[in-house]
Amino acid sequence: MIILHGDSTVQSRNELAKILSEARAQSTEIVRVDAKSLNHATLESTLGEQDLFGTPKLVVIETLHSLPRSKKKDELIKLVSKKSPHQILLWEKRTLTKTMLKSFPDAQVREFKMSNFLFNWLDMLGGRQPYNQKLETLHQAIKKDGDYLCFIMVVRHVRLLLLAKTGGIIKGPPFMVSKYKKQAQMFSETQLLQLHTHLVSIDEKTKTSTTSLNLESQLDLLTLGVYI
């Protein structure tokens, strides 16, 4: 069994694509299922079926641990943890705890974390660091985490800064809340609203291919403060 998990879904997705490509090259049958559509009977059948020719099978189960707590979820995890004639791969969009991983003692576990470059870049927004330092940090983050994850995280970051600026409730430890409030002071409420509006525009234009700039170039301009 292979388990791919962690907060850097870009990296884990790339690893999944690599594994699937290698499996196809070896003529392995690939069965992909979303945990939301699973029940005990269908999973048991999928994990136990073998064709007459003994074709190797790779069963990819996505987001099993993201299911809400329930007896059904516990039963599915218990079933997956049992020995199967097929290779099983769990892809998770979250970081699994040690307790969660205890159910799979023999699994090859690969965790994919977001880089410090990404968090450092977010912390620099609105700061007085030289622009070349900000851009270098961004490009390191893109290299490690991908431009799309950088974009997703900056959208989330700006929303949290808006909450901090307007007195909204931010869930998290006190030190983190304090950190957002301190960074929010570097912006006016109007600037944060403009920045949020522009991020929404970037998302729409990128999805509809109505911009000549790629996502990395738009993140460059954002870092340079062009839209504030």
pLDDT of the residue at 53? 64
Please check whether residues 36 and 107 belong to one and the same domain: yes
Please check whether residues 107 and 147 belong to one and the same domain: no
Please check whether residues 123 and 88 belong to one and the same domain: no
pLDDT of the residue at 208? 87
**CA angle (42, 94, 167) in 5-degree steps:** 130
Q: How many domains does the chain have?
A: 2
pLDDT of the residue at 51? 60
- 46, 77, 111 - which closes a domain: 111
pLDDT of the residue at 98? 94
Please check whether residues 168 and 219 belong to one and the same domain: yes
CATH number assigned to the domain comprising residue 53: 3.40.50.300
pLDDT of the residue at 48? 78
- 111, 133, 163 - which closes a domain: 111
Domain that holds residue 209: 116-223
- 91, 111, 131 - which closes a domain: 111
Amino acid at 149: L
Q: 196 lies in a domain?
A: yes
CATH number assigned to the domain comprising residue 181: 1.20.272.10
Please check whether residues 160 and 122 belong to one and the same domain: yes
Over the chain (228 residues), what is each successive 10-residue block's mean pLDDT?
91 93 93 90 82 78 94 93 89 94 94 93 93 96 90 94 93 90 94 93 88 91 80
pLDDT of the residue at 209? 86
